[in-house]
Amino acid sequence: MKKLRVALIGTDSLRGKEIKSVLEQKHFPLAVMEFYDPEVKEEYSKLTEFAGEPKVIHHLEEKYLEGLDLVFLAAAREVNARVARRTKDLKCRLLDVNETFNDNPRVPLIVAGINDHLLGEEITLVANPHPVTIFLAHVLHLLSARNKIKKAVCFVLQPASAYDESGMDELAHQSISLLSFETPTRKVFPTQVAFNLISCFEEVDNFGFSPVERRIIKEVKRVLDQPRLPLFVSLVQAPVFHTYSLMTYLECEREMEIGEIEQIFIKSPYFKVVKPEPSQPVSAITVAGQDEIFIGQIKKEPEFPRHFWLWMVADNLTRGSALNAYEVALKWFEATGRAEKE
């Protein structure tokens, strides 16, 4: 088995921290693990820890990436784009986990277990989709293999961590301020997010949809290779730190029993089906940090036996980012004979 020389750019970002944790916990086949951060100006001025040992976070210079097999791009998007431009002649592969290249049709957008057959020796750059794309793609991929989907409508509750640590910090500070009867400050969000729900605070198109809603729909269709899939997504900012919660309405071609749907998800390693209990419902609190997409409730209206509601919750930093990237990386190198899973 050939072990890989790997680097992570953007070590201290939320997604960077999660990638580092996953590579360590899952025993990725590593020969070398290096860390880079564009904010580091002086060598040996910043340290991190990996596999129980201190590691230096180096200043980012693209020439140092030569000879590496794989680089995870978890820095700011302008940094990731610059690295991709300046490393075209190097032999290392780049895996973008910060959605820098998602709109580029020439960069494969990969969800592990669905379209990772697109990976090959000639590919040098791939992108992680939006977390909601990953969750919805898995759901629709499994169900459509058993029953044609005539319509899918998804109502999404977005966490503050969608805006990285600055979003979580602002939610925390606003919550403390309000509980202390003080006026909350706003920097990341244009209005109060603590104890609040916000349907949209971005520019919308002529039909009322935001760019991220349009992008999720486009990404799901692209990953599933179903350009005419009738999918509709509406996103709401919620006052939670981690995990996306999705209430999805599905209209199928034929009738299905709830038990049949549950079995489809139970047999998949990407899902965990949990019977709803009033004392411990599937929620952001119970799912944060977990690896699977949790199915907490399936509703079926007897008068419309082909129509269903799915309540699902999944962590945007684990299954929605780092775990997908980890599995894509393994598949990428296994497919080309350059590494094997331990």
CA 301 to chain centre: 31
Quickly count: other Cβ atoms within 10 Å of residue 24's Cβ. 15
Name the average pLDDT for the chain. 92
Q: What is the pLDDT of residue 39?
A: 84
Q: What is the DSSP letter of 161?
A: G
Question: What local confidence, expressed as pLDDT, does residue 89 receive?
Answer: 80
Tell me what pLDDT residue 1 has.
Answer: 46
Q: Give the model confidence (pLDDT) of 279-294 as tens digits.
A: 788 999 999 999 999 9
Q: What is the pLDDT of residue 82?
A: 92
For residue 315, name the pLDDT band (cuts at 50, 70, 90): very high
At 256-281, the pLDDT tens digits run 999 999 999 999 999 999 987 777 88
Q: What is the mean pLDDT of residues 46-75?
A: 90
Provide the sign of the torsion angle of the four alpha carbons 108, 111, 114, 117, taken in this order: positive
Q: Write down the pLDDT at residue 86.
A: 86
Question: Using one digit for the tens of pLDDT, what is the confidence trace for 239-257?
Answer: 999 999 999 999 999 999 9
Over range 14-43, report the average pLDDT: 91
Q: What is the rounded distance in angstroms from the CA atom of residue 320 to the CA atom of residue 240? A: 16
Give residue 178's pLDDT: 95
Please name the residues in contact with 273: beta carbons below 8 A apart, sequence gap of 6 or more.
Answer: 262, 265, 266, 294, 295
* Residue 337 pLDDT class (50, 70, 90 cuts): low
User: The pTM is what?
Assistant: 0.93
pLDDT tier at 342 (50, 70, 90 boundaries)? very low
341: pLDDT strictly greater than 60:
no
Helix (H) or strand (E) holding 32: strand 30-37
CA angle (219 as vertex; 170, 337 as ends), nearest 5: 105
Exposed e or buried b per residue across 96-124, where buried means at least 16 C-beta atoms within 10 angstroms of its C-beta: bbbbbbbeeeebbbbbbbbbbeebeeebe
Report whether pLDDT(339) > 60.
no
The mean pLDDT value for 304-332 works out to 96
pLDDT band with cut points at 50, 70 and 90 for residue 340: very low
Q: What tens digit of pLDDT does each residue of 159-173 get? A: 999 999 999 999 999
Q: What confidence tier does 91 reach under pLDDT thresholds 50, 70, 90?
A: confident
* 217 vs 334: which has the higher pLDDT: 217
